[in-house]
Amino acid sequence: MIDVHAHLTNKKFEGKLKNLNTELKKKGIKVICAGLNFEDNKKVLKICSKYDAFFPALGFYPDIVEKSEWKQELKDVINQIKSNNIVAISEVGIDYKINKKKEEQKIAFKKMIELGIELELPLIIHSRWSVGRVIAMLKEYEEKIKKKRLIPILHAFSGNEKEVFKAWELGCYFSIPSNIEKVPQKQVLAELVPTNKLFLETDSPYMSVNSEINTPTSILNTVIKIAEIKRMPVEDLIIQIEKNEKKVFKKIS
Ligand SMILES: [Zn+2]
């Protein structure tokens, strides 16, 4: 199984990656490492070339638009994405909690959507306080999504029932985070989304359910919790999620 969204370049993992990789290999877990900006993307590439349970995704986090030279960084990240062998574009999206630079964020996210189409790479999307905006922007690409030329995966989606339905109807996938154990909204999300649209994620080291740092191994608890919510055998759910993984993340075998 794959943790489709983790930040293993975070300082909290310093000196721990070797052991983590060994543990993940033993448990059969693979991780898609998300990058946040040009420098972080470089670190993602480095750790993924070193450890075989890690797979690189490069991205452009919405906070970059606060820098005066954000347009240059956008160009640099686009080149970085085009010139490296990656499994997804992540982390990208819109965040109105971080800042309200709506036009700048839209410009950057639109570029990332178009890059996803051009390179045929799945897009793992952040949508904090901006669910309506993200869905509206993806709606402009509905035809491409329906033809599977664009594969949007909404990470830690916080939309209400109506918004979940809208995004699902549009053809989006959803990655369910490990904090589902204590967040009722995520439990409703897991209940609403059909199993053929589900992935697992941890957002490690964030979204821990206890006081320790979160690690990709917590997807093992997440899948049990989702199976319980969906009242289905956990083995069947794992089979379906692995099917989704094979279909969408073709480069990870
Ligand atoms: Zn993240």
Distance 59 CA to ligand 1 centre (A): 10
How far does the centroid of ligand 1 lie from the alpha carbon of residue 140, in Å? Answer: 24
Give the residue from 11, 167, 2, 133 showing the smallest Cα distance to 62. Answer: 133
Whole-number pLDDT of residue 100: 86
Q: 202 alpha carbon to ligand 1 midpoint, in Å?
A: 9
Instruction: State in Å: Cα 156 to ligand 1 middle.
Output: 9
- How much of the chain, in percent, has pLDDT values that exceed 70? 100
pLDDT along the chain (253 residues), means of 10: 98 97 98 98 98 98 96 98 98 94 96 97 96 97 95 96 96 96 95 98 91 93 97 98 97 84
Ligand 1 mean position, distance from CA 243 (Å): 23
* C-alpha torsion sign, points 32, 131, 242, 222: positive
State in Å: Cα 103 to ligand 1 middle: 22
How many angstroms is it from 230 CA to the middle of ligand 1? 26
Say if CB 159 and CB 131 are below 8 A apart: yes
**Ligand 1 centroid to residue 224 C-alpha, Å:** 22
Q: What is the rounded CA–CA span in Å between residue 253 and residue 249?
A: 8
Per-residue model confidence (pLDDT) at position 210:
83
Q: 99-122: per-residue pLDDT in tens?
A: 889 999 999 999 999 999 999 999
CA of 6 to the centre of ligand 1 (A): 6
CA 163-209-176 angle, 5° bins? 30
**In angstroms, what is the span from residue 139 Cα to ligand 1's centroid?**
23
Helix (H, G, I), strand (E, B) or coil at 200: strand
Domains and CATH numbers, the chain: 2-248 (3.20.20.140)
pLDDT at 207: 87
pLDDT tens for residues 76-92?
999 999 999 999 999 99
> pLDDT value at position 188?
96
CA of 235 to the centre of ligand 1 (A): 27
